[in-house]
Chains A and B, each alone.
Chain A
Amino acid sequence: MSLDPVLLAVIANRLDTIVREMENTLLRTGRSAVLNMARDFSCALITGDNRLLASAEGLPVHVIGMEFLAEAVTELHDDIREGDAFLHNDPYLGNTHPADHVILVPVFVDGVHIFTAAAKAHQADCGNANPTTYMPFARDIYEEGGLIFPAVRVQRDNEDIADVIRMCRRRIRVPDQWYGDYLAMVGAARIGETRLKELVAKYGLDTIKQFIEEWFDYSERRVAHVISQMPKGTIVGHGRHDPFGPLPDGIPINVKVSIDPAAGMIDIDLTDNIDCVPAGVNESRTCAMNNVMTGVFNSIDPDIPHNAGTFRRITVRLRENCVVGIPRFPHSCSVATTNVGERLVVTTQKAFADAWDGYGLAEGACGIGPGYAVVSGIDWRKNNEPYVNQKFLGSQGGPAGPEIDGWITYGNSVTNGLMFRDSVEIDEQKYPIRVTEIRVRPDSEGSGRRRGAPGFRVAYGPKHDEMRAFYVTDGCHFPPRGVRGGGDAAASLPFKVTADGQEDGLPPIASTDLQAGELLLHLLSGGGGYGDPLEREVERVRDDVLSEFVTFERARDVYGVVFANTELSDALAVDVEATERHRESLRAMRGNTSPANA
């Protein structure tokens, strides 16, 4: 007999509540800015047989594939028991990239392993060869240099295993910061454990087991229904990561998307891609999978659950030793979560938009350029204590959808606007830096009937002693593209500003040392547009001009909007007739070809 549908809804809701409680613990108790300001973490609940059950509002790149981590625990250990906790960051065994540490706590009821509670958080440092959590030039995992934990037991009987903690404290920069974050993750996972036990005590183990199967079935029905309403067809989306160092042609990406509404299945094939590369930008298996899944979820009804039941209806084909597939040891996956991973997301969602009007999204901004650099140095205010952390000061633009303009605080495609931004004041209080500018970068948006979000102009530097910055920009050569007549966004451009104010271009992917008085400057890209900009409602263009997202010149040349005055106030008025004439002439000029990218 099937479970009361009311009880089904009730228990599903309880699980999400548990995940949110875990997340709240991580946010409030984490030590590094990556956690406690930017919220670069996620929690999830996995079944004892390693299926993703609940993830509330976790980052897409983090939670999809969490089940592989739990799988590594059960496959590697035959002596798992209550009170254990495992530390896992191995990209060959289901993790995203080594900088994401994960704490996994098996949850036992009557001696049976029924759930695993997982907390994953991007670390401020993971012991890499350089003070950064992203090593794009690492030819292999040895050059990358970080500590790898293949689902290593880190607690037994709820007590730390001191050997492991000592290893981390010896090899991870600013060890107290790491340990504080470790405590926050353990606290989150243990809270999950406690609440799950309460849940089972309340409803009984049999009901919970039945719930799990029915919840997956329900989720599968939901996504199958959504797919059944979609058009049938196959398209291959092509994208490319910017060239850098060892890869002068960049990294081409092919995503083959097939929709079969009758079967209620979506199939994504990534096997037609190049082999692993001798650089730190290979995808881990989990990232290859979750990034195309994110592209799919961006393109279909958002109201479906996202769990193992849903995943039954989306197949992702990967091959071994592929840059966007299953990495072959010892290729490095140091940068797997961003860059190439982001290109997978945006190429997938753009393929949907290219093939089927009204579906998918344009491309969003990619990469973790200087606005998101990992910076390190010493703090003269605290007896020259060392510091290392990733900044989240930048803001790059989200992609336009068929009905909605791009999201401004988008971050990047793998976090989809979920992450928080740094506070300038908190950053300056915690680190010896000064931020001099964060402002909208006009005309950086991809134009369109729905436009991408604008990027920003961000500058900061050290106040006293030298600061080192590592960053991995993308979108300098191949900026985010628009779809269905929408324009491309402005390219992402890194600079160093000298003490006398000169702006020197920097390589897109590099590290740089800055002295007091020098600044790291980043002109971040916007998101791509969706549809013809000449069809954008004039009132929206007026709002964009008043917000200084778009200049008068661009409003006229790209959107075809002519204003009756140039008053930047509510007195600003569109000349409707002149606009209609101008739009007609722009259409005539481009003839029957698709609108030019601006």
Chain B
Amino acid sequence: MTYRISVDTGGTFTDVVVADAEGKLRISKALTTPRRAFEGINTALADVSSTLGLSVRDLLSLSESFTYGTTRATNAIVEGKTARTAFFTTHGFPDILLLREGGKLDPFRQIPYPPPYVPRYLTFEIEERIDSEGDVFIPLNEGSVRAALERCRDLEVQAIGVSLLWSIVNPAHELRVGELIADVLPDVPFTLSHQLNPIVREYRRTSSCVIDASLKPLMQEHLSSLDADLRAAGFKGHLFIATSFGGSWRPEEVIERPIYSVGSGPSMAPVAALSYTVAERSTDEHSEDFLVCDTGGTTFDVGLVSGGQINYTAETWLGGRWIGHITGIRSVDVKSIGAGGGSIAWLDPGGLLRVGPQSAGADPGPACYGRGGTLPTVTDSAVVLGYIDPGYFLGGRLSLDVDAARRALAEHIAAPLGWSVEDAASAVLVIATENIVGAIREITISQGIDPREVTIVAGGGASGLNIVPIARELGCTRVMLPSTAGALSACGAMYADIISEFSVSRYVETRGLDFDAVNEALASVEARAKAFLQGLEDIDPLSTRIEFLVAARYRQQVWELDIPLAGSRLESEADVRVLEQTFHDTHRRVFAVDEPGQYLECLVWKSRATAVTAKPSVSARTRESADGDMVKHAPAFFRNVGLTETPMYSGVLLTPGMCVDGPAIIREPTTTVVVYPGSTATVTPLGNYLLEIGPEPADVAAAGIREEVAAS
């Protein structure tokens, strides 16, 4: 018997998933132990291993892989607990990190200007300059480097990011600075911008570079100790670390480029969604575009999978778009919206109902937590409406105060508007839904995806509360809600392949294309991809592949689109025409216009290496517990229906093929699914929920359960 383990360590909870040889998943949660991650993992593993009749040591020694996702790097950045990092820049440009790219959201709102990632007194100007054509305009003054390094020594600098202008065209100066650092301060880790992220635009490349350097000491220590702890506890298999790329790497690769662990947890939710939908597809031929929604207490995360491919972005900001710090690297496109269960509802001075952006957080939390909160939240509204069982919140660990929730809604919303408390609560959910819908529309549309044509995959403990109205407002008719929704990211890590991208900057135009230059660039990224895959031979991947892409734009544009190449080289004018046509099509899809006949400017040539790893097959859920009632009835409130006696199903007792017509509520140990009027939940063959959403009915007749197809 062999097992596979995956872990997602968040700021509060550590989710652990264990798959057995048949692909059956067991899930457990424990509190995260920031000082030593393994302690929390061990607690959760003990919970799982006991159900298997094993010790943790037995379980670990029987496991062939352990995939670890963590918010360690993200939290360190947010909390300002990264290494003391220096920034080496081209002389004349010490304020790249301060200025960023400009821009701000609200013209009339005064907000404090955020400080740069590296303070000015740790920024060192290196005398050198390379031009955009790659010529050396000012030779490197090594004295200026050595002086900077001596000052770094005095200031006890722990990491150095080196980002010089045009190093992507001629890396000689950055490479030499790297040699000097290794010579003068051999124990200080450093990052060279052209090696980490060879993109044009000095701010983005520099931000990647200094963030990466600042994480090196920390992540080296963190991953090394986890590895040691796992080995000491009996683990003999392969350790993988989840990356923001939606794949995994071995620890040494993450230690080399730790910025790729930033946001690695949320990037796994789309991986899980893709695995589930592919597995379900044997009985379910539908759209390959889907939206992955993961709802937490304070944020709602949205990712996108189009045409069976996870969407990526190069614009991930930590601490706010334009005003925070951009990671600058390509990563799974997961956008966070400040809308969760804790978002506060309020009336503005014009009498309009608003929800958020203020959140009650965990302390004092929603009014119903009974911890002193008096302002009404989304969670309070769900309690008032009868969607959340006050006696079974967080598996019964927190008993909810329904009266406090009603009081908060009555005082702040219902009374001033002259409404009933239920109408007010229902309206709060509508506005919370609308905030999310607007954000999803922007995210999908900017990618050229029509939200009406997608399937939503919903995860997170709170997503079931309003995923039906979210889908309905988007015009989307199908929602998949996995039974493991509560640990979607950790499940995703279980299905992650090993993926890495390699890129080289080489500017060419498709008019009179320089084939030699392009093919030399492609050969170099292919060679690096092959070397990477060869280094994985001991893992014995099931298969490997290399894909090629180019970042291209129309003449005179400055924002590129990533366009896949049909082959590994451009051999003929015909190949170039195919590339141009693919670009025209993509441009029209994304931006509604194209310019046939216009040539392209190609900037960055990329290879993407994928090693497909052995992973558990997604298998049917088995029902562990047969105790209790499958259904009981309690009042719940729905818009256009009013308060109505509503069936409440115990999810663990439903079997594949069963259909639940709304209004109804399904309670799972880690999530609640509200089946609104006009929608139907079907238990899929694998034990997940497929919600089919029709128009909102004006009123509702009888509802209940149907046995539609006999379960196999």
Contact = CB atoms under 8 A, between A and B. Distances in A.
A28 B435 CA distance: 25
A337 interface: no
Interface in B89-143: 92-95, 98-113, 115, 119-122, 129, 131-133, 137
19 contacts: A13-B435, A13-B438, A17-B442, A21-B441, A28-B590, A30-B557, A32-B556, A57-B107, A218-B351, A219-B350, A406-B113, A409-B103, A417-B107, A418-B107, A421-B100, A424-B93, A425-B201, A429-B200, A437-B92
Nearest to A381: B133
Contacts of B112: 404-405
Interface centre among B112, B122, B350 (most CB of A within 10 A): B350
Interface in B157-213: 165-166, 200-203
A411 interface: yes
B113 A453 contact: yes
B349 A226 contact: yes
Contact of B110 (A401, A430, A437): A401
A423 B105 contact: no
A298 B556 contact: no
A6 B155 contact: no
Which residue of B166, B445, B555 has the most chain A CB atoms within 10 A of its CB atom? Answer: B445
Interface residues of B, number: 69
A416 interface: yes
B558 interface: yes
Interface centre among B103, B110, B591 (most CB of A within 10 A): B110
A552 to B, nearest CB: 13
Interface stretch (B18-26, B426-434, B459-467, B521-529): B426-434
Contacts of B349: 221-222, 225-226
Interface string B555-587: 111110000000000000000000000000001
B353 interface: yes
A9 B165 contact: no
Given A8-B352, A546-B120, A190 B446 contact: no
Contact of A191 (B92, B592, B595): B592
B593 interface: yes
B100 A187 contact: no
Nearest to B473: A10
Contacts of A463: 131
A416 B417 CA distance: 37
Contacts of A28: 557, 559, 590-591
Given A13-B435, A303-B348, A36 B559 contact: yes
A419 interface: yes
Given A408-B98, A408-B99, A423-B202, A547 B119 contact: yes
A438 interface: yes
Nearest to A228: B349
Interface of B: 92-95, 98-113, 115, 119-122, 129, 131-133, 137, 155, 165-166, 200-203, 348-354, 417, 427, 430-431, 434-435, 438, 441-442, 445-446, 473, 507, 554-559, 587, 590-593, 595
B55 to A, nearest CB: 48
A371 to B, nearest CB: 12
A190 B200 CA distance: 32
A409 to B, nearest CB: 4
A423 B105 CA distance: 19
A183 B595 contact: yes
A68 interface: no
Given A30-B557, A568-B121, A21 B446 contact: yes
B557 A407 contact: no
Contacts of B473: 10
A69 interface: no
A420 B101 contact: yes
Nearest to A437: B92
A459 B103 CA distance: 22
Contacts of A143: none
Given A219-B350, A421-B100, 13 more contacts: A5-B351, A30-B557, A60-B108, A176-B556, A177-B556, A180-B557, A190-B592, A406-B113, A418-B104, A420-B101, A437-B93, A546-B119, A547-B115
A6 B202 contact: no
The residue in B98, B102, B557, B587 that gathers the most chain A C-beta atoms within 10 A of its C-beta is B102
Contacts of A420: 101-103
Contacts of A303: 109, 348
Contact of A36 (B93, B106, B121, B558): B558
Contacts of A14: 438
A423 B326 CA distance: 15
Is chain B's interface secondary structure helix, strand, loop, or mixed overall?
loop
Interface string A291-323: 000100110001100100000000000000000
A428 B445 CA distance: 32
Nearest to B435: A13
A27 B592 CA distance: 13
Interface in A162-176: 176
B108 A297 contact: yes
Given A6-B430, A28-B591, A302-B108, A409 B350 contact: no
A541 interface: no
Interface string A176-193: 110010011011001100
Contacts of A381: 133
B558 A9 contact: no
A20 interface: yes
A439 B95 contact: yes
A403 interface: yes
A543 B354 CA distance: 37
Given A453-B113, A547-B119, A421 B101 contact: yes
Given A10-B434, A421-B101, A421-B102, A29 B108 contact: no
A417 B102 contact: yes
Contact of A426 (B92, B105, B107, B558): B558
A426 B441 CA distance: 30
B110 A6 contact: no
- What 9 pairs across the A-B complex have the smallest Cβ distances? A421-B102, A187-B593, A437-B92, A222-B350, A428-B132, A302-B109, A302-B108, A31-B556, A409-B102
B552 to A, nearest CB: 13
A395 interface: yes
Nearest to A463: B131
A421 B134 CA distance: 24
A67 B92 CA distance: 45
A361 B99 CA distance: 22
B95 A423 contact: no
Contacts of A256: none
B165 A218 contact: no
B593 A21 contact: no
Contacts of B95: 438-440, 456
B619 to A, nearest CB: 41
B112 to A, nearest CB: 6
Interface string A22-39: 001101111111001101
B556 A421 contact: no
Contact of B99 (A219, A222, A226, A421): A421
A107 interface: no
A184 B103 contact: no
Interface in A412-467: 415-421, 423-426, 428-430, 434-440, 453, 456, 459, 463
Nearest to A184: B593
Most chain-B Cβ atoms within 10 A of its Cβ — which of A29, A36, A191?
Answer: A29
A428 B131 contact: yes
Interface string A248-280: 000000000000000000000000000000000
A59 interface: yes
A425 B442 contact: no
Interface string A360-375: 0100000000000000
Nearest to B556: A31
A298 B104 contact: no
Contacts of B431: 6, 9-10
Contact of B593 (A8, A9, A186): A186
A429 B109 CA distance: 35
Given A218-B350, A408-B98, A408-B113, A13 B434 contact: yes
